[in-house]
Structure formats: C-alpha cells, structure tokens
Structure 1
C-alpha cells in the first residue's frame, strides 16, 4: 500500500530475500502485488511463469519487465516446473552464477593431484553440491572440490561464470517483449560483488550489454548497497547500482553506518515514442534526510528525502 501511495506502478521481486518464507511466502507476495495491480516480475508459481516478461500499459506506454536473481542462493530458492518426481515449485527467476578461482599451471596441477590422491570423485562432488546441482566443468581446465571451482589460467584471480542456459532463457524473454514494441526493463539482483563495492565486476557489464543487444531499453541492477557507475550503451542506460532507496536496520546490530549506504539518486529517464532515450535527470536523496545522517539511531531514518546544497553536490559529485 505504501509503495502504491508513493507512486510505484512496477516492482521487481527477484532477490535473495524473496524466498525467506519459502514457497508460501512467494505465493503470498504474488497475491498481494497482483490484487494491487502492480506490474511485477522475478517471482512466479513455476519456472515457465517466472521466465516470461511481464507486460502492462503504464501512462499510455507498453512496459515490459524481465527480472533475474544471480544469488548466491540455494537451488530450492528458484522456481521449477513439475516433473515426474515432484510438483512445481514457486520461487525466483534464476540467472545461475558460479564463482571461479583462477590459478596458474603449477597450482592447478597441485590441486588436481590433491583431488586424485584423496579419491574425490564426481559422486562426491554431486553430494557436496547439494542442494545445488553439481557444476558443469571443463575437465582439462577446471577442477572442483566441495563447492569451489578452480580454473587453469595464466594469472591468479577470481571470476564469475554465467550459466548460458539461464542467460539464453532470459534473453529470449527480453527479445520477445521488444518485438512486441514494449519498452523493456531488464533487471538483475546479485551479491557477487567485487571486494571494493565501488568497483564494477566485468561480468555484470557483459550481462547488461547482452540484455540491451537483445532489445532491452534499460538495464537496472541492485545488490551492492552503494551508488555505482551509470553507462550509456548503444544509446540506452545501464544503472549498475542505485544503492538504497528504503533501508531499515537496527542500530545495535548494524554495520551499515557509512554515509554512502544512506545516500542515493533517483534517475528520471525520458524516452521517445520509439523507446529511444532522450535524457536522464538525477535527483539526490538521503534516507532520513540530512538530519538523519547525524542521528546515530538508524531506526529513525525512515524514508528518502530530496536534498540540495552541499549534500546534493557531494552525492552527485560521487556519482559523476
């Protein structure tokens, strides 16, 4: 009710907390948003339903929303169709992502030797991966022990591998909605951040651009609780993270005290009739307002407030 009163008409429901109360919580959420008439995506009663773009007419324009979650989260969090072994499972629309640790040839051979000497087999890998499915590996370049994948490389590093089946399924939903002349918003929630929140992982940029190539007019991501860069790709905006808009925590338990966590912008996009971007204006906000930042009681920082003056200069300068 509060979101509707503020003026929201569309909601992404794909995130790791959407399954906190299990399948019944998913069904309850769907019931609440549907009876209030929100355009919504990211949660569904089964995989087939959650994989489709949601489309509605808002302010005389056809809007489509495709919302994904990249986790990390257990396998049972994500929507599944019925098969001969189980009924359908309500849940979240998945974009499966796997963390991969890159090591050089010497370390890779040592890890493979450890696996072989222990006698760690594919059956062990499947058991250790439960409730997730075991990863699909390149036997010449990848070794998995427990839930960790090591990849042969010319450097040490950490990366993310995208499941191409999930990616193709979501790109197909975007393309189908774009062919229907809708303004398509592609959304991704994830917690596979870089060590520095302000650094943008390359894989996120790759996903964003593939969504736009498929027909999305806008890509929006969330997870990192701070402002991240905005990019214009092929004339279409990519919002890598707009930080927090409403954020409720308990003071005595919270480590979220940095000012950047409580500051954000509202981006207002104007599109032409052919769904091409005309301009974007950014409006700086602080949750709880400027006085809220000086108040150590985080529970009193209730809603975002538009700010001007030095606070606006600081927030917009950081975004710039």
Structure 2
C-alpha cells in the first residue's frame, strides 16, 4: 500500500515577496506533501513590455516567486486571466524567473505545446503530474497556438435555449439588424471559425427548446487536445492533478456552478485524480466523484488586490482561504482531504513594506471554514475529510 499526498491552495495573487513569519503550519503542510502547487495569478515584471489591458494588472517580481518557493510549492499553474498582462514578453520572463527559482511552470508558454506540458513532480512515494488550463472567457489573443505565446485553453462555450416563440422573435431581431448576414459574410472568408450554425444573438448561440435555459460546454477541439495531454500524463504518473481557472461565475460566487462540477467529473472519467480550481476570489464547497476530490473553488491564498475596501464594503470575504492536502491510497479508489483554513495574505500597508504571509486560522474561525466547505457532502464523503489542527501538526 502506497500513499501519495498532493497539496494545493487558493490563488497566489502577489505583487512581491511576503514575510513568512507565522506561516509555519502552512509551510509544513506544503513541504511534507509529495507535491504542492498553486495558481500564480500574476506575471513577472518585464523590461520593455507594455500592458495588454487598460486596467487591473497584477505584476510580481523574483522576490515574490522566491517566497512561493520558500513556502514549499513545487509548481505554479499559470493558465489564468493575468498570465498575459504583459503579452508574450511577460510569458517568457515568468517562465525564466520561475524555473530559475527551482519551480516548474505549467499552463503558459511560448507555444501551445509548451503551455500544455504538465509538471512532473517526483515525491517520496511516487510521481505526480499537474496540468493547468483556463476555461475563459478571455479574448482569443491570450491563448497559445502553434506559433504564438499564451496560455493553455479549455474554453467553455455558452449555449442558450428558448421556446419557439422567443426563438422566432430573436431570429427576426437578428435579421432586422443584419447581424446574420454580416457574420455569415465574415465566416465565409475565414474571419470567423466559430460562427453558430443556427442562430447567434450578440455572440451567443441560441437554439429552440422547451423552456429558457443556458449552460456551458467545452470547446470540442480544446477538449480533444487536453484529453491527449491528460492521457499522456496518466501514463507517466501515479497521480494526475488538473488546475482549472474559470471566470464564468454564477451570481453567488460562493456556489460552484453546476457545469464546473460536470466538467470536473468528465476530467476524472478521463484520468484525473484531483481537480483544483480558482477564479472567483472566494472559497466554495468541495465534492467528490468516484472518491476523488473536486476542489473547484479554492479562492485565495495571497491576495494583493487594490480593491480591498470595495470587497469589504460589499461584504465579499476574500480574506478567508484554505490549503488542502489530498492523500491518495494507490491500493484504493479515492483520497482523504485534510483542510487547513487560513487567513489570506493581505497587501502591504505601504510602499516598501513586505506583505504578510497567509497564516492558519484556529478554533471557531477554522471550524466555520471547514463546515462551510463540507456542508454539501454526502455522509460517506464527509468521512474522507478532516480539519487540520495547526497546533498538532
């Protein structure tokens, strides 16, 4: 019987180094695992590069990367909406600094092949592979291709259905605006390759149905490409983890969208052992499928936002997170999940100050986080989850 442990936490959105004081319990969880990874929600400062956005850049430096290494991470997932903040130069610089620090970078690269490559982490008990994908929505320019730098895509496409009467009204609207002919002409000469076969309304495909409904489905070409990478990783590793990043949020950020759960189960069916997700900056509940963990909304570990006051004023708790250690028994089908609730690492209070590290929560505060994360579990799955006491680690 062999047990292999994989540790993961919410996103590391950091602008520079952090003070590791007080993070001892978190560091132990990460360093004692066979493999530990986190989503790097930033790109490296890069001389000569310029922003690809008009707002909300998240840039870090070598000191920030060194802090993540010191905490105990082995790999950084980089398929997210801030990886392309400085375009291809930022992608290249990030890989250079991350690898120089002794970490592996996954999910971004100078080509799609590089962005799709998994990290292989050799632990004491076996090999762990980690892959990273971005689910969108983002402009196509951020996604890597055969000859263009970017991030690894697994784009989710929205589809909508409406009853026949509404469908006919929408078709009439599109025809009156000339959108149907306009987009058909663009598709005919290759300006568009994803033009809806039936009806498209303001960029969304709309089909006839019994009632109004919407959902998301993976882009078939993206899924086929990712499935090949997942299968190859499965053949070379004892455990395969998939980091997903998603900005198709439901109105209630604390609720994992049903389609994310569906996608996670599909990836487990294709060979994944662990799904670890980020995107909405808050914690969501966890679930299991075939005994394997779906941690699809891990929120934040470090969050150097410039909108602290806005989140606080709106009552959005971006300051509570968790690190999870998933222990897989290779002789059984499933895993145990150990949860360490943490107070998220906040921004530095003033320029030149080192930002604080995330620190473990204790007592009732820790229990509250644990109960919220496990509230929707079936009884048989609840037995798989334990709360880590930082004082008895």
Q: TM-score range by the shorter chain?
A: 0.7 to 0.9
2:113 equivalent among 29, 45, 48? 48
Residues of 2 paired with 1:198 and 1:318: CA distance? Answer: 10
- Specify the alignment match of 1:162 in structure 2: 218
Give the 3-state SS of the residue equivalent to 2:256 in structure 1: coil
**Number of residues paired by the alignment?**
301
- Specify the alignment match of 1:84 in structure 2: none
Computed over aligned residues only, the root mean square deviation of the Cα atoms, in angstroms, reads 2.6
Q: In the superposition, relative to structure 1, how do residues 200 and 287 fare at CA in structure 2: closer, same or farther (>3 Å)?
A: closer
The reply to whether residue 249 of structure 1 matches residue 308 of structure 2 is: no
Structure 1 unaligned blocks of 5 or more? 82-87
Residues of 2 paired with 1:5 and 1:126: CA distance? Answer: 55
What is the deviation of 1:126?
Answer: 7.2
TM-score (norm 1): 0.85
Greater RCO, CA 8 A, separation 6+: 2
TM-score (norm 2): 0.70
What is the deviation of 1:181?
Answer: 3.4
Q: In the superposition, relative to structure 1, how do residues 138 and 124 fare at CA in structure 2: closer, same or farther (>3 Å)?
A: closer
- Specify the alignment match of 1:22 in structure 2: 87
Give the 3-state SS of the residue equivalent to 2:179 in structure 1: coil
1:6 equivalent among 49, 65, 71? 71
- Do 2:286 and 2:294's aligned partners in 1 also have CA atoms closer than 8 Å? yes
Residues of 1 paired with 2:339 and 2:185: CA distance? Answer: 48
Residues of 1 paired with 2:140 and 2:320: CA distance? Answer: 33
Residues of 1 paired with 2:125 and 2:339: CA distance? Answer: 24
Superimposed CA distance per residue, residues 27-57 of structure 1 (whole angstroms, 9 cap, x where no aligned partner)? 1111111222222210011112223333232
- Specify the alignment match of 2:327 in structure 1: 270
Give the 3-state SS of the residue equivalent to 2:301 in structure 1: coil
The reply to whether residue 236 of structure 1 matches residue 301 of structure 2 is: no
Matches within 5 A, 1:1-320: 1-59=66-124, 61-81=126-146, 88-124=147-183, 133-139=192-198, 143-250=199-306, 254-256=310-312, 258=315, 260-273=317-330, 276-287=333-344, 302-320=356-374
Q: In the superposition, relative to structure 1, how do residues 102 and 308 fare at CA in structure 2: closer, same or farther (>3 Å)?
A: same
Residues of 2 paired with 1:94 and 1:288: CA distance? Answer: 29
- Do 2:292 and 2:335's aligned partners in 1 also have CA atoms closer than 8 Å? no
Give the 3-state SS of the residue equivalent to 1:260 in structure 2: coil
Superimposed CA distance per residue, residues 197-251 of structure 1 (whole angstroms, 9 cap, x where no aligned partner)? 1222222112111111111111111112222121111121110111110001235
Q: Which moved more, 1:61-70 or 1:195-204?
A: 195-204
Superimposed CA distance per residue, residues 263-284 of structure 1 (whole angstroms, 9 cap, x where no aligned partner)? 1221111123468544221111
Q: Which moved more, 1:10-19 or 1:40-49?
A: 40-49
Superimposed CA distance per residue, residues 145-164 of structure 1 (whole angstroms, 9 cap, x where no aligned partner)? 33233232222233223211
Superimposed CA distance per residue, residues 148-183 of structure 1 (whole angstroms, 9 cap, x where no aligned partner)? 332322222332232111112112211111122331
Residues of 2 paired with 1:54 and 1:249: CA distance? Answer: 28
